[in-house]
Amino acid sequence: MSNNNSWFPSADGPRQDVRDMESDGPAPDAGFLDTHRWILAVAGVVVLALIATLVIVLTRTPRGAAPAVTPSTTAAPATSSTSSTAAASSTSSTAPSTTAATTTSTTSTTPASSTVVANAYPLTGLPVKGTSGPALCIKIENSIEARPQLGLDSADIVYEEVVEGGITRYMAVFQSNIPAKVEPVRSMRPMDPPMVLPLGCPLIFSGAQVPFLQAAAATGIQMIYMDRGDPGFSRDSAKAAPHNVIGDTAKFLAQIQPVRVKPPAPPFTFATSAAESTAGTQGKAAKSLNLTLSSVAHPNWTWDATSGQWLRSEGSTQAVAANGKRLSATNVVALTVLVQNTTFTDPANNPVPETKIVGSGKGVVASGGKTVAVSWSKASEREQMVLTDASGAPVKLAPGNTWVELVPTTGSITPQA
């Protein structure tokens, strides 16, 4: 603030006041005059002190500073952040600082529809038990030779996608309950990087064609894979190759780059219970959800009220993990997606398909024994997929694990009441 002489007293001010007083009325005696001069001198000092204090206060106040306001009690919308730990621990209604509000992430973003529940795992919405650390995104095979898979029942999220010959493959995401081993780990496909980029987790697989590796590397995603000689991979002598690659999760976790050692960004909005989920409040009761992904892939999910879970089957065969546990999901998100063949082929000369997950479409969400029609959209490779209901409001899932079924437009999604 510039100094302005109008803020300071004139040097002639007090003395002028004395002269004016002395010229009025009869002349007083010396004692009287000395007393009043003393009083006026003290008053002048007080006035100067007050004015000086005011000047100091004004000059220390930043120009254009906004007045203090009381933070809104309405929670601020989720913002893109490089630290989902901070987001998960924030339950206060205090508005975020300028630094936090302007922070953006190069590896993961939180969609506007996501709700970060306090002290909850970001991938399930369930209360944290122990610690909440980084996630592992691991490609898992789903051919007949690969079943039953080891560790798949511990995944927080499983994405199912169509690959060559119409069979399907999984992208399993582990964070809240990471198993010691997973099997069988298999190769990467073109749609995998944009699927997991928003989560910020390393992409773990056995190998891939060179063009797929180059395209993935260009995104900046961290890759951990067997063909490069990365630690954590071994072969199961009891099974035939290539269906026998074992993944050691402790060794995978040890390889995560320091900047990525943090919980993943939440990909979904979670309600506090299945009854309060979008399917629970808007959906229709359903006994099963039947899917056709290809001529050879017909997974279906049957509602089990006792466990509060959707139970998976491959056709008419119950799907189980290597430990004999039935594969199940709290939420099944079945989305209609465009699948196109690339110019690449596998060793059997089958074209390698690519699921186009950047775009928009329709789908069905199953939670709590009910299903509801939804819309989905994904603006870019790095943005989270957003689910909305008929009114455009964010879809809320039930707290728990989720399977995302990426159903080609040539397939079908059929709830059965």
Question: In this predicted structure, what is the pLDDT of residue 74?
Answer: 33
User: Are both 232 and 280 inside the same structural domain?
Assistant: no
Residue 97 resides in a domain: no
Q: Which of 69-83, 259-273, 399-413 has the lowest mean pLDDT?
A: 69-83
Quickly list DSSP for 16-59.
Answer: HHHHHHHTSSSPPPHHHHHHHHHHHHHHHHHHHHHHHHHHHHHH
Range of the domain at 210: 136-151+169-260
* 394: three-class secondary structure by DSSP: strand
Question: In this predicted structure, what is the pLDDT of residue 69?
Answer: 30
- pLDDT at residue 51 greater than cutoff 70: no
CATH number of the structural domain spanning residue 317? 3.50.90.10
Question: In this predicted structure, what is the pLDDT of residue 94?
Answer: 32
- pLDDT at residue 344 greater than cutoff 90: yes
Q: 332, 402 in Cβ contact below 8 A?
A: yes
Beta-carbon contacts of 401 under 8 Å, excluding residues fewer than 6 positions away, are: 124, 155, 156, 157, 158, 328, 329, 330, 331
Question: In this predicted structure, what is the pLDDT of residue 66?
Answer: 34
User: Are both 276 and 407 inside the same structural domain?
Assistant: yes
Q: 172, 138 in Cβ contact below 8 A?
A: yes
User: Are both 316 and 403 inside the same structural domain?
Assistant: yes
- pLDDT at residue 228 greater than cutoff 50: yes
User: Are both 392 and 282 inside the same structural domain?
Assistant: yes
Question: In this predicted structure, what is the pLDDT of residue 176?
Answer: 97
Residue scoring higher pLDDT (246 or 35): 246
User: Are both 207 and 281 inside the same structural domain?
Assistant: no
Q: What tens digit of pLDDT does each residue of 359-403 get?
A: 999 999 999 999 999 999 999 999 999 999 999 999 999 999 999
Quickly list DSSP for 84-120.
Answer: HHHHHT----SPPPHHHHH---SS----TT----TTB
Question: In this predicted structure, what is the pLDDT of residue 309?
Answer: 98
- pLDDT at residue 357 greater than cutoff 60: yes
Q: What is the mean pLDDT of residues 13-18?
A: 37
User: Are both 242 and 316 inside the same structural domain?
Assistant: no
Domain count, the chain: 3
Residue 83 resides in a domain: no
Question: In this predicted structure, what is the pLDDT of residue 142?
Answer: 98
User: Are both 306 and 199 inside the same structural domain?
Assistant: no
Q: What burial class does residue 381 get, using C-beta atoms within 10 Å of its C-beta: 0-12 exposed, 13-18 middle, 19+ buried?
A: middle
Residue 31 resides in a domain: yes
